[in-house]
Chain A
């Protein structure tokens, strides 16, 4: 799981142009949006597209469930682990 955490951190840095960050700078348990890493709604869309491309996931933009998956690196990793098709 920690490998997947690292992989998702790298995907976030790359797809969201977080030019000054390394995976080690991102806390796996910290909030990704607003507080914590400070991502915004455009980042959420971008990250959704990146996750769908990389792992073959299906995401629902409106669901409360998606909101929970996107809470932190750890919750995203658990979601990817459970739902990936590639």
Chain B
């Protein structure tokens, strides 16, 4: 029996937006992509585009993501939303668990915002969108898992999807478990079906890409990026027109 090789899964990058302390414009991010520094700092964006009664629910991590989703160039019109974050709202859950252990009661508001799809849900409430929201946490493979989900939803017929990533340094309690470079950031990629970039598995063992490694690759001109240690998946820049 003859088998036809499956086509390499791929995508086109239509638009993007990103926010981190000190990096608020496309120009600043383009310059960042050419170096190897990580964002750092405690600033949070204003998220002026969001109604204050909804905005008040979000803390720094959520505000960074919301700032990228409200970016005008993204022109949100109900695209399906995929939000991948390795650690999510850990800066909320640690104080919540501490409070629970001490008082036996927690803040309902903070609890409701501590779940992994809370911020993306808040965005769809603000935009009165009924588009699907998918929330992903996949440890050190979070970047690749987000891409895989996006490619899957495109294959399933979505015209384009918004793939968002956000994370921030873990609270002190979890610092002994940190195993990759930590930085505060959020970014959103609008992806469509295509072959500008493809995913491919190579022989041997590769390395895991963080979401910021992925952003740097997409904005730069390197020919490929190792995505996962397991399976040695790579993202490949094909040179096909976007």
Contacts and interface: CB of A to CB of B under 8 A. Distances in A.
B112 to A, nearest CB: 5
Contacts of A15: 107
Contacts, number: 24
Contacts of A53: 105
A42 B52 contact: no
B222 to A, nearest CB: 42
Residue among B105, B107, B108 with the highest chain A CB neighbour number at 10 A: B108
Interface string B38-60: 00000000000000110011000
Contact of B108 (A17, A19, A45): A45
Contacts of B57: 17
Contacts of A43: 109
Interface residues of A, number: 13
A46 B107 contact: yes
A49 B56 contact: no
Contact of B109 (A16, A19, A20, A38): A16
A71 interface: no
Interface in B105-145: 105, 107-109, 112
B117 to A, nearest CB: 15
Residue among B52, B53, B107 with the highest chain A CB neighbour number at 10 A: B53
* Cβ-closest 3 pairs across A and B: A45-B108, A17-B56, A46-B109
5 contacts: A17-B57, A17-B109, A45-B109, A46-B108, A49-B105
Given A16-B109, A49-B105, 15 more contacts: A16-B56, A17-B56, A17-B57, A18-B56, A19-B52, A20-B52, A38-B53, A42-B108, A43-B109, A45-B109, A46-B107, A46-B109, A49-B107, A49-B108, A53-B105
